[in-house]
Chains A and B, each alone.
Chain A
Amino acid sequence: MKRTLSLIISIFTICGILSAQDSRERTLETIVQDVLAALPAENQTEFNTNMHDLAKSAPASVVYLASRLQPVEAGVNNLVEYAISGVVRYATAPESASLKDGVRSGLEKALETCKDDNHRQFLESQLRLMKPYSAAPAVFNAVEGKGSNARCAELWTLTDGKGEKSEKKILAALRSDDRAVRTTALLAYEAYADDDFYAKVAKTYRKLSPEAKADVIYWIGKKDVQSQIPLVLSELEAGGEIGSNAIEAAGRLGGSEAADKLVAMVGGPRSSEALAALKYIDSDITALVQDGMKKAEGERLNGLMKLASDKHMCGAAPVVLEYAASKDADLASKAAAALAGVVSASDFPAVASLYDSSESEKGTLKKAINSSLATLPADERYDLVMNHIAKASHPESFYIVLAETGSDKATDYLLARHAEGSGPASDALLTIRSMKVAPVLLEASSDNQTCLKTFADIVSEQVSEDNRKCEEYSKAFDRAVDPAVKNHILVLLGKIPSSRAFSMAGSYLDLPETSYAAAWAVKTIASKGVDDIDYYELTKVLGKAVDVLKSTGNADDGYAVDEIKGILEAAKPYELSKLTEEEAAQGFEMLFDGSDLSKWTGDKVGYRVANGCINVTASYGNSGNLYTEKEYSDFIFRFEFCFTRGGVNNGVGIRTPMGVDAAYHGMEIQVLDHDDPIYADLRDYQVHGSVYGIIPAKRLVHKPLGEWSYEEIRVKGDRVTVIVNGEVIVDGNIREACQGHNVAPDGSKKNPYTVDGKNHPGLFNKKGHIGFLGHGEGLKYRNVRVLDLSK
């Protein structure tokens, strides 16, 4: 208490001395209050404005702020911390150098009186940022002792101090029996190691231990020491580590002699190492390999063909094709495998003929065909394959090749053959990734469950609309028996940020074989901040997911559990709507209080209840409507609506039958975000609130997206009144509006009496349902109630 008092006194003193007031005549306290109210700053401009005010009134502002720090137990310091660290950051920016001294002295003054350890630590950390920087010397404290690392450290100290002059000792270190020391010697001397140095290494080379020799050879390759190629090549035939390192180094060093020697080793005892090294040779060795292939046989020939293939030597294609046609089955098989790497488009006819006549190598040769077609556009591939089919002896065997061309024409052709009952066409279709083959995949799934995985992958890649994706996945779930398939779909479902996907995934949490994938899916969806997942469903489903994830004990699952806890902390329950006392007295009936759609009928999928709202999710072009179960003639209909995306279109149908277009077979009171730029050319009878096509509404300006509006529609006899947020936007007589002619008197389709020039046969219906008329997602309704005036 005493301390607080003295702090307050000192603040008053400071204020008194400086009488800090800015150009806007604000007192210091007001300046600080204004800044605190605006923190933390959302962007740089806000930050600069606020911090400039604080910095200008430093040191007093900083001292005052520091005095407002409360004991950490109170948990209230964040804004003051933002303010102090903010002004420090602002004042240390290069462009505000003139303000630095004031802020620093404020911190120093504050520290003079500050006794709380936590506050002192914070203020000191800030003061540190204000001090001039001098780089701490990066001293390596050499380690004591005789360990391997101490000897390494000695070598660095040696080369640091003596540079080139340490050469002798470096050469001596190569004789160490410790590999770490030898490697360090070469590394520490790296900057000075020229051809001369390596010549000296080569001179002592024969005196070195085999292990040290291996190191030197590796290092020559690694450092690309071209002058020591002869030494490396002389060790190619050596055994053990030296030989292995020499082969690798020869590959790195390259050059024609190395290439010659390495190619010569193909087929020998160290063939695989030589082939690996040859992969890194940059120069063109096609001629060398081609020549070698012509003369070689057995393992050597196989190795050379593989090399030609790995290095994509197109020039070697004729030789490999020749071997692929050989009568020696083993040779033909090896050659067929190598073909894929060497063929190009001009080789297609030759490869296709081989494929046509081969029985045992069809799979391998198919790869070669694909490879030969790879550089052509899909439709050209299709043409080439179709030409070949015309003259092939086994045309149906080419269907699979056709499928892999990626051409749409091929898909259509195969679908036609499939319809005729061709088995190979059906098999081929299963390999195509296009929504066109979706029905074939679903049909085949009873025999082959993996078709469902393919189907789901295609949906994931090619269907863009979230709801439609859910619909397609649900088809796959219906047919899925294999848990692996279900889990595969659950992973894909997790990528859809929608409440529908959340519910679908949640329903798989109870089955042991799918619970883990389902838990990840619901976590992933919920973490995307989907706001139309119902609070009670969210907490229930995520609670189950936590149980599943906790039971594994795996680290990633632990992180997921933490993430879910964060989501649950942020989620808030909602309250159900209630009639006002006045409404209750008048006899209003609650049609939707936030809990369920029990008084409604129609599209309850497109109109989804969550968090006390009806969320319209029906896609554009989907005329999903939701109707009251009861019919009404005269009534007052009250509700709240909220647009969550721009340009949303919906409507309230009144006195309408179900399943017809209410705008003409009843009435439609327009619900439309007419402020969106897409409606620049809107007709006046289409704006929000209009009796569609009959009475234009006064054009209101909607509240920003995400804010709720209150609407009332009164219908009594022929009089329709629409009130939004207290403003009457329609108050008219429908019979007068069309002079009694809701349909053209001459029976024609054009009606001169209605503003939209159309017939409205249902305009004068005595009664009908009230309904929400869907034209797309992005809209919520809540608190829907009605007063039946006919009673």
Chain B
Amino acid sequence: MERRSFLKKAGLGALAFTILPRHVFGKMGGDNNFVAPSDQLTKGIIGLGGIGRSSNHFTSDERCRLVALCDVDSGHLAKARELAKSKFGQSMTEYHDFRDLIHDPNVDVVHIATPPHWHGIMAVEAANAGKDIFCEKPMTRTIGEGKRVREAVKRNGRIFRLNTWFRFADTFYGLGTTVEPLKKLVDSGLLGWPLTVRISGATGFAWKFFWTGKENLVPEPVPAELDYDFWLGPAPNKPYNSHRVHQTFRGYWDYDGGGLGDMGQHYIDPVQYILGKDNTFPVKVEVDAPQQHPDAIGIWRSITYTYEDGCKIILEGEGFESAGKVPYIEGPLGKVYKGFECTIPNVQEIIAELPDPEPQNTDFINCVHNRRKFALNEDNGYHSSTIVNMGICAHRLGRTLHFDPKTQLFIGDDAANQLIDQPMRGDWKI
């Protein structure tokens, strides 16, 4: 915001920029609507691995221009530099330390695409610096970090988008449609109450168990291009092994939560929306899994969440799916299967007649301009992220946990509560 007001008052340099003819901007691709330069946002990306460089995110257009890049792996940074040159014909300001990118006055929006053990620290830093935030899922890797991000975003009056989108767009995996018709059906009460949702290979959802860690990792030399100490940041100092970092980091508790960490928020966030439970949490989580290693994440057979009113979310691990035809969502009065097959006759026609759900704000750039909460924000994002993290805690400890939605603590289990906040290495704090 300050940068734009600065631009308005600025001298010749900025002025020369503002009087560029319209067709010049037209060539920058993206949205066809002409945007006055003072309304054009700028963004910087932290973390330029697979996601940060993916075509959905490595964008620059009239509405939001990419200006800064940050990574602690100079190899990633070099690839991003090349990509920026070939895609936009532009060079970017490059940073090694995310704090420098966040405090760069030319950056309005901070896009966090690092491994999850960084999300909390970076989002809070960005919010405190007055930046708006576009954060990849999962929101944070602990419940405590999620709480602090939510607080910092709210307190600073920032706009926060958590990047998963199925609650408002795209075919929702096994459902074969967007979630909207299911939301309408559930809201109508035609399925009855309470409901059980089954997220399973049998209902069209893959849990990506290839994100499991390896035990007995032996130290390897750190590649010259990687600042491993900075990559670890708040995480415990364990000797470098290439399986710990890039992509495969998902298999270690220190950085993420395995397949559940990767896909959990994609799959569970829309369920919170469908069930109308964006403001609450399950009260119990049960897990059926082999014993877990303290460093490397393994598989699980099932994870079951129960809400106070009896609604359940059942996750079925890969290879442990219910046999036969099982419903995605089941209530006392009806069931919906994969592909939106439903036991209620003519369900599509019935849904068409039902009232539409409340409109959602799904244009992030508009949200930043108008200061409106994005459809998936620090509040509902914190809730679905916490559900994922509850499951990760139960998986890690291998036991049933009870959760108090008011205090947002586990009940009568000190060890589980120790996992809510995890110690950070060195001077890192949030």
Chains A and B bind each other = yes
Chain B positions within 8 Å of A556 at CB level: 50
Chain A positions within 8 Å of B346 at CB level: 374-375
Tell me, yes or no, whether B239 is within 8 Å of chain A by CB: yes
What mask results when residues 148 to 177 of chain B are scored 1 for a CB within 8 Å of chain A, else 0? 100110111110000000000000000000
- Is A131 touching B414 in the complex (CB atoms < 8 A)? yes
Chain B positions within 8 Å of A118 at CB level: 238-239
Q: Give the complex CA separation of A71 and B98 in angstroms.
A: 34
Chain A positions within 8 Å of B348 at CB level: 374
Contacts A280-B359, A374-B349 hold; do A183 and B157 have CB atoms under 8 A apart?
A: yes
Q: Which of B371-430 contact A (CB under 8 A)?
A: 371-372, 397-399, 407, 409, 412-415, 417-419, 421, 423
Q: Which of A121-178 contact B (CB under 8 A)?
A: 121-122, 125-126, 128-133, 135-136, 138, 140-143, 147-153, 155-156, 178
Tell me, yes or no, whether B110 is within 8 Å of chain A by CB: no
Tell me, yes or no, whether B248 is within 8 Å of chain A by CB: yes
- Is A152 touching B157 in the complex (CB atoms < 8 A)? yes
Residue among A41, A132, A152, A156 with the highest chain B CB neighbour number at 10 A: A152
Chain B positions within 8 Å of A72 at CB level: 217-219, 239
- Is B290 touching A122 in the complex (CB atoms < 8 A)? no
List the B residue with the shortest CB-CB distance to A85.
B294
- Is B294 touching A47 in the complex (CB atoms < 8 A)? no
**A496 → chain B, closest Cβ, in Å?**
15
Interface of A is mostly: helix
- Is A92 touching B414 in the complex (CB atoms < 8 A)? yes
- Is A562 touching B147 in the complex (CB atoms < 8 A)? no
What mask results when residues 76 to 120 of chain A are scored 1 for a CB within 8 Å of chain B, else 0? 111001101110110011100000000000000000000001100
List the A residue with the shortest CB-CB distance to B411.
A94
**A609 → chain B, closest Cβ, in Å?**
27
Among candidates A88, A155, A312, residue contacting B352 with C-beta atoms closer than 8 Å = A312
Q: Which of B290-304 contact A (CB under 8 A)?
A: 290-295, 298
- Is B290 touching A41 in the complex (CB atoms < 8 A)? yes
Q: Give the complex CA separation of A72 and B217 in angstroms.
A: 8
Contacts A128-B423, A133-B414, A140-B151 hold; do A47 and B398 have CB atoms under 8 A apart?
A: yes
Tell me, yes or no, whether B244 is within 8 Å of chain A by CB: no
Chain B positions within 8 Å of A558 at CB level: 50, 247
Tell me, yes or no, whether B33 is within 8 Å of chain A by CB: no
Among candidates A40, A136, A529, residue contacting B291 with C-beta atoms closer than 8 Å = A40
**B140 → chain A, closest Cβ, in Å?**
14
Q: Give the complex CA separation of A558 and B50 in angstroms.
A: 8
Contacts A75-B216, A143-B156, A181-B157 hold; do A555 and B210 have CB atoms under 8 A apart?
A: no
Chain B positions within 8 Å of A527 at CB level: 210
Tell me, yes or no, whether B29 is within 8 Å of chain A by CB: no
Chain B positions within 8 Å of A148 at CB level: 1-2, 130, 157
Q: Give the complex CA separation of A78 and B358 in angstroms.
A: 51
List the A residue with the shortest CB-CB distance to B354.
A312
Tell me, yes or no, whether A487 is within 8 Å of chain B by CB: no
List the A residue with the shortest CB-CB distance to B346.
A375
- Is A125 touching B236 in the complex (CB atoms < 8 A)? yes
Contacts A118-B239, A136-B144, A148-B2 hold; do A280 and B294 have CB atoms under 8 A apart?
A: no
Tell me, yes or no, whether B51 is within 8 Å of chain A by CB: yes
**A416 → chain B, closest Cβ, in Å?**
29
Q: Give the complex CA separation of A280 and B357 in angstroms.
A: 8
**A206 → chain B, closest Cβ, in Å?**
22
List the B residue with the shortest CB-CB distance to A38.
B291
Interface of B is mostly: loop
Contacts A81-B215, A81-B295, A375-B349 hold; do A147 and B130 have CB atoms under 8 A apart?
A: yes
- Is A555 touching B54 in the complex (CB atoms < 8 A)? yes
Tell me, yes or no, whether A554 is within 8 Å of chain B by CB: yes
- Is A86 touching B291 in the complex (CB atoms < 8 A)? yes
Q: Give the complex CA separation of A93 and B416 in angstroms.
A: 9
Number of interface residues of B (CB under 8 A): 70
Among candidates A149, A156, A375, residue contacting B127 with C-beta atoms closer than 8 Å = A149
Contacts A85-B294, A153-B156 hold; do A132 and B414 have CB atoms under 8 A apart?
A: yes
What mask results when residues 40 to 84 of chain A are scored 1 for a CB within 8 Å of chain B, else 0? 111110010000000000000000000000001111111001101
Chain A positions within 8 Å of B237 at CB level: 117, 121
Q: Give the complex CA separation of A121 and B235 in angstroms.
A: 11
Q: Give the complex CA separation of A153 and B155 in angstroms.
A: 5
**B363 → chain A, closest Cβ, in Å?**
14
Q: Which of B333-375 contact A (CB under 8 A)?
A: 345-346, 348-349, 352-353, 355-356, 358-359, 370-372
- Is A77 touching B216 in the complex (CB atoms < 8 A)? yes
Chain B positions within 8 Å of A374 at CB level: 346, 348-349
- Is A178 touching B290 in the complex (CB atoms < 8 A)? no
Tell me, yes or no, whether B53 is within 8 Å of chain A by CB: yes
Tell me, yes or no, whether B106 is within 8 Å of chain A by CB: no
- Is A78 touching B216 in the complex (CB atoms < 8 A)? yes
List the A residue with the shortest CB-CB distance to B414.
A133
Q: Give the complex CA separation of A375 and B350 in angstroms.
A: 9
Tell me, yes or no, whether A15 is within 8 Å of chain B by CB: no
- Is B291 touching A41 in the complex (CB atoms < 8 A)? yes
- Is B236 touching A121 in the complex (CB atoms < 8 A)? yes
Contacts A72-B239, A89-B399 hold; do A149 and B156 have CB atoms under 8 A apart?
A: yes
- Is B157 touching A149 in the complex (CB atoms < 8 A)? yes
List the B residue with the shortest CB-CB distance to A76.
B216
- Is A152 touching B156 in the complex (CB atoms < 8 A)? yes
List the B residue with the shortest CB-CB distance to A43.
B290
Chain B positions within 8 Å of A536 at CB level: none
Chain A positions within 8 Å of B55 at CB level: 554
Chain A positions within 8 Å of B151 at CB level: 138, 140
Tell me, yes or no, whether B128 is within 8 Å of chain A by CB: yes
What mask results when residues 170 to 208 of chain A are scored 1 for a CB within 8 Å of chain B, else 0? 000000001111111001000000000000000000000
Tell me, yes or no, whether A745 is within 8 Å of chain B by CB: no
Contacts A128-B418, A180-B371 hold; do A81 and B127 have CB atoms under 8 A apart?
A: no
**A144 → chain B, closest Cβ, in Å?**
9
Tell me, yes or no, whether A355 is within 8 Å of chain B by CB: no
Contacts A143-B128, A562-B210, A562-B248 hold; do A156 and B217 have CB atoms under 8 A apart?
A: no
- Is A75 touching B218 in the complex (CB atoms < 8 A)? yes
Q: Give the complex CA separation of A94 and B413 in angstroms.
A: 6
- Is B398 touching A89 in the complex (CB atoms < 8 A)? yes
**Pairs of residues from A and B, 3 with the lowest C-beta to C-beta distance, nearest first:** A152-B157, A555-B50, A92-B415
- What are 26 A-B pairs with beta-carbon distances under 8 A? A44-B288, A44-B398, A47-B291, A72-B219, A73-B219, A75-B218, A82-B291, A89-B415, A92-B414, A93-B399, A121-B238, A122-B294, A126-B294, A129-B418, A130-B415, A143-B129, A143-B156, A149-B128, A150-B130, A156-B155, A178-B1, A179-B371, A183-B371, A184-B157, A558-B247, A566-B210
